[in-house]
Copies of this chain bind each other. A is one copy, B any other.
């Protein structure tokens, strides 16, 4: 268990989640596979080296880690979600997906530059892209300003239906 453990423990505590062995193991899998985008199944298989984990536990843990911002889910369109550990250094980045081999690679995203040009330099022949921003629309921004609930277990928000 390396440095990451501190971050995970702190975050989990902060949000009233317990630090269980399986959660540690799953985080460990991410650390052992840096810069990788793993499916739930892959994470479970990697975890099996240390302990048997139920797939449901993996999904539940991933949901929590995503919720507290340590993990990010990425959908490349093949019907299976992938997860990457972002942890402390969540520097903005984007993904390159090869339409032929399915290869997935993350690169740093210089927000104010011409990204496509940058990628052309890296030899990636771009055919298409998808840019999605998540946030709050004007109406909801106001709503939240008045409500102010940011916790996951306290304010009983049930939006997004």
Contact = CB atoms under 8 A, between A and B. Distances in A.
Interface size class, chain A = 35 or more
B126 A133 contact: yes
Given A77-B75, A114-B111, A97 B134 contact: yes
Contacts of A105: 137
Interface in A117-140: 119, 122-140
A161 B99 CA distance: 11
B102 A161 contact: yes
B136 A129 contact: no
A103 B143 CA distance: 14
A119 to B, nearest CB: 6
Given A75-B77, A99-B160, A102-B161, A135 B124 contact: yes
A138 to B, nearest CB: 4
A102 B134 contact: no
Contacts of A114: 111-112
A55 interface: no
A132 B130 contact: yes
Nearest 9 A/B pairs, CB to CB? A94-B131, A123-B138, A126-B135, A100-B140, A98-B137, A75-B75, A125-B136, A128-B134, A127-B135
